[in-house]
Amino acid sequence: MESKKQAAEKAVEAIKDGMVVGLGTGTTAYWAIQKIAERITEGLRIQAVATSLETEKLAKDLGIPLVPFSAIETIDLTIDGADEVDKNKNLLKGGGGALLREKIVAYHSKQYFIVVDERKRVDQLGRFPLPLEILPFAMELTLAKLRRFGEATIREKGGSLYVTDNGNFIADLHFFPINDPQALDAQLHQIPGVLETGLFSHALVTNVIVGTKNGEVLVL
């Protein structure tokens, strides 16, 4: 956890006065948000948008000024985490269930900083199940198509189906190794009912900031 905190704080150093900042979701983003709030008390002036209701609540509680997406045209810098990062900076995300909103924010960001600890670096994506946000309508048919790729299950939480902030479900697909993330992403998008995948192209990523157990922070 300390390595995540150090890496997140390193990413926050890139935030400047006047920026519109995207706030990610998850444990790594939590530390970035804490540091942003600290910098605001020291005089930093920014506006922010959130990738989830959980993040929105945390930002409000910490006094970070949020704006609606209708009030902005672009996002200067977004800081988020990832479940896996390969050697080419492709990402697997969605463990926290916010992948659709996270990808929208990433796509509209001028800079996209990914913060991880060293355990999240992998040679090939896929040991962590690939999350997909799917429409509840006819989800059994969607799942049947997904199972042509590998084992696929609907995520549950507390004994009930996990529901995203958008009112959809998460399917977790076991597919390893993911040798060509872009090709797999395109194939999965061909299935009606799949709204978004947890595969994020390296083309979206500006920097990967890695916290290590020895206290060193790497910027890739």
Give catalytic residue positions: 102
Specify the DSSP class assigned to residue 129: P
Residue at 15: amino acid letter: I
CA distance 181 to 201: 7
- Dihedral over Cα of 88, 89, 95, 99: its sign: negative
Query: Would you say 48 and 32 are in contact if contact means Cβ atoms under 8 Å apart?
Result: no
CA distance 194 to 149: 14
First to last CA, the chain: 20
Preceding amide of 177 cis, omega within 30: yes
CA distance 50 to 57: 9
CA distance 27 to 116: 10
CA distance 33 to 39: 10
